[in-house]
Amino acid sequence: MVKLVRLILAFAATVALIVGILMWYRSYDPLPHKIRIAAGQENGLYHTLAQEIAKRLQERNPGWSVLILVSPGTEANIDLLLNDEADFALIQTVSPLPKKIAGITPLFPEPLHIIVRKKKGINEIKEPKDLKGRIALGLKGSTMRQTSHTVLEHYGIPATRIMDKEEHFGVIGSDKGVDAALVTTGWMNPIVEKLLQLDDLKLIGIGDPEGLAMRHPWLTVFTIPKGLYPGKSPVPTEPVRTVAVMSLLVGQADASDRLVHEALAAIYETDLRSSYPALLSAKAAKEYDAAVMHPSVAKYHDPSAGLNRLSQGLELISKSKEALFGVGAFALLIWSWVRRRREQVAATADQAQRQKLDDFIGRTLTVELEQMEVAEPEQLRRFLRRVTQIKQEALRELTSEKVRGDQLFSIFLSQCAALSEKIQMRMIYGKISEEVEQA
């Protein structure tokens, strides 16, 4: 009897080994050694993000060569994919994807920034008269330009009122003849940050983002929070209501499963989000409702989908289908219970960390209010130390990926940076005042 049991176990182990080898052979998919990513203009948000993704792809796959392609924008990137001149591309979603292109993952929302010269006296776009002159609408071949025209048409602003030379929006910072720029980009864009630090430029919103978003389904209502951008004084001074599009990493529809998996792993299994906090978390990306996503995306976010292929392979070579099904179902049940339990524990921990984040924000606001009553440089130095300690405590204690990926965490970091700079400026001013009085 013992020998029979051993024989059965040996046979089962042999069958499992053969099935494993067959499944590995069927799923084996050699990866290309040269990956091309269509991005955007050099030094822009898409280009710098693509460089970081490329770096992590190479770290995970030594020997790979990853090339970043410079382009005017989304339309050009899609053409590169359709012509088989790129493997991946970063685009803004303003229309359905072509059949030969599949979504890989959503990246981050890109709000419409309307940057105008302060001397124009414009505070919000509500009607045609609110916008005129020389306006940078974006480069030809970019969806930024397409979104700009959508806004102009919505408010009935005729082309005769606009002087447009298909310029990059950064021109408003160097050419005083440019009156405004319509910029659809993520808030991490370094060029936008530099523009909003200029004294003669300001950020305005639109009067009815809900109506604009309802008429154009690829747009969503978005609020740029007060003080998001650092500077002498935080920008904007008040929350700005606008609309946003979603940026998306896309690839060819017939891209290999392993290539798609490596791209997703480079984003969600590395420290990329520490450099780009606006990136959606893996859970948020999983829930994103895209029209056409690559089949491998679902497999990446839900590894249990791979059990179907394994069960089918076992059924082909096994006579006891019912027994295998029962074992598999039981194993899946146990695995699902363990996963739900882990998710519950993680959710509880995330909630606790969110509460801590609220406490850190409250402490920072307290420091900001108290330092306003102090003018002595040495006394202000104590407040500067408190801000630094609060920030260090937050970075040390708030380790949850979900909390660090939350927009409120990014606002907290910006708040700390702005408050530190404000206190330092007051200290410098106080020292100068003392020296003048002594003189």
Q: What is the pLDDT of residue 304?
A: 67
For residue 295, the model assigns a pLDDT of 87
Say if 155 falls within a structural domain.
yes
Q: What is the CATH number of the domain that holds 220?
A: 3.40.190.10
Token reading at 117: 């010269």
Residue ranges for the chain with pLDDT beneath 50: 1-2, 4-5, 312, 319
Q: Would you say 36 and 86 are in contact if contact means Cβ atoms under 8 Å apart? A: yes
Q: Encoding tokens for residue 107?
A: 């990246």
Give yes or no for a contact between 184 and 144, defined as CB atoms under 8 angstroms apart: yes
Helix (H) or strand (E) holding 17: helix 2-27
Q: Please tell me the predicted confidence (pLDDT) of residue 16.
A: 61
Rounded to the nearest angstrom, the gap between the alpha carbon of residue 414 and the centroid of all alpha carbons in its chain is 17
Q: Read out DSSP for 29-52?
A: -PPPSEEEEE--STTSHHHHHHHH
Report pTM: 0.59
The rounded distance, in Å, linking the Cα atoms of 408 and 394 is 13
Closest C-alpha to 104, from 77, 83, 69, 140: 77
Domain range for 162 is: 109-247
- Domain final residue, candidates 247, 267, 302: 247
| Inside any domain, residue 162 | yes
Is 271 domain-assigned?
A: no
Scanning the structure block, which residue is given the tokens 């006579």?
A: 319
- List, as one string, the DSSP characters of 364-380: HHHHHHHHTT---HHHH
Q: Is residue 401 part of a domain?
A: yes
* 240 & 366 share domain: no
User: How many helical (H) and strand (E) elements, i.e. helices and strands, does the chain have?
Assistant: 15, 11
Query: What pLDDT does residue 2 have?
Result: 47
SS3 101: strand
**Domain-ending residue, one of 247, 273, 295:** 247
Same domain, 233 and 127: yes
Q: How far apart are CA 262 and CA 57, in angstroms?
A: 7
Task: Supply the pLDDT for residue 319.
Answer: 45
Which residues are 111's β-sheet partners?
244
Percent of the chain as helix, strand, coil, to the nearest 5: 55, 15, 30
Dihedral sign from CA coordinates of 90, 96, 102, 106: positive
Smallest CA-to-CA distance from 31 within 262, 225, 309, 287 is with 262
Residue 27 lies inside a defined structural domain of this protein? no
Q: pLDDT (tens digit, 9 = 90+) per residue, 167-197? A: 889 999 999 999 999 999 998 888 899 999 9
Query: Does some domain include residue 192?
Result: yes
Tens of pLDDT, residue by residue over 389-421, are 988 988 888 888 888 888 888 888 888 888 888
- 282 is a domain residue: no
HSE of 151, CA atoms in CB hemisphere, 13 A: 33
Q: Give the pLDDT confidence score for residue 22 in this predicted structure.
A: 59
Domain tally for the chain? 2
Residues 6 or more apart from 364 whose CB is under 8 A from it? 387, 390, 412, 415, 416, 419
Indicate if 364 and 234 belong to the same structural domain: no
Q: Looking at the structure, do residues 119 and 233 belong to the same domain, yes or no? A: yes
Look at residues 225, 247, 269 and tell me which one is the last residue of a structural domain.
Answer: 247
Q: Are 235 and 229 in contact, with CB atoms under 8 Å apart?
A: yes
